[in-house]
Amino acid sequence: MSEAIVVGISDYKWGRSPDVLVTHALGSCVGICLYDKQTQIGGLAHIMLPDSSMFASQGINRMKFADTAIVDLVQKIRISGADPARLTAKIAGGAQMFAVQEGSAIGAIGERNVQSVKAALRNARIPIIAEDTGLNYGRTVFFDLVSGIMKVQSLNRIFKEL
């Protein structure tokens, strides 16, 4: 029987088959699923912001930022037995949930999150093999570590398997 492991906002978790990782409330946040098919070990990060460099490095929650959470999660799943050279990624979220005024300091945070996630994965040499990003609605992600399938659920939308 698989165990459901819940990943909160600005959080990441990892596990192995037959675990299922789940995260809710992906609006402008991005969920990043990392998976080693051979070992069936994977992780899921729920990042909230694109870049930690604007904040003091001491005392920050590294799980909140794309640039730090991905690096740290790769290390956690490597220690658990995954091979970073075999990792693949699937991503979801990065929606534009609210109208943005021109010149707003917040800007298109969902789009910026997606771009930062893609840059961090590129730097880690992890290919993105599936994504469901952008638009204007929230998502819940279920990541099955038996199959490596990321299931994306959204209100009043088709349930997607990627």
Quick check: bond before 50 cis, omega within 30?
A: no
**Residues β-bridged to residue 65:** 49
Distance, CA of 109 to CA of 122 (rounded, Å): 20
Distance CA 37, CA 155 (A): 30
pLDDT reported for residue 1? 53
Among 4, 38, 124, which residue's Cα sits nearest to residue 74?
124
Q: What is the pLDDT of residues 99-115, one digit of tens each?
A: 666 555 556 899 999 99
Class level of CATH domain 4-161: alpha beta
Please state the rounded mean pLDDT for residues 53-78: 91
Dmax over Cα atoms in the chain, in whole Å? 51
How far apart are the C-alpha atoms of 130 and 162, rounded to whole Å? 6
Tokens of 19: 């675990």
What mean pLDDT do residues 136-157 have? Answer: 95
- Amino acid 105: pLDDT: 54
Average pLDDT for 33-51: 97
More confident residue, 42 or 55: 42
Q: Where are the domains of the chain?
A: 4-161
38 has pLDDT over 80: yes
pTM of the predicted model over 0.75: yes
Q: How many CA atoms lie within 13 A of 44 on its CB side?
A: 32
CA 132-134-135 angle, to 5 degrees, is: 110
Residue 158 pLDDT:
82
- Sign for the CA dihedral angle at 110, 112, 113, 115 comes to positive
**Neighbouring C-beta atoms of residue 84, cutoff 10 Å:** 14
Q: Which helix (DSSP H) or strand (DSSP E) does residue 161 occupy?
A: strand 160-161
Kindly list the catalytic residues.
Answer: 29
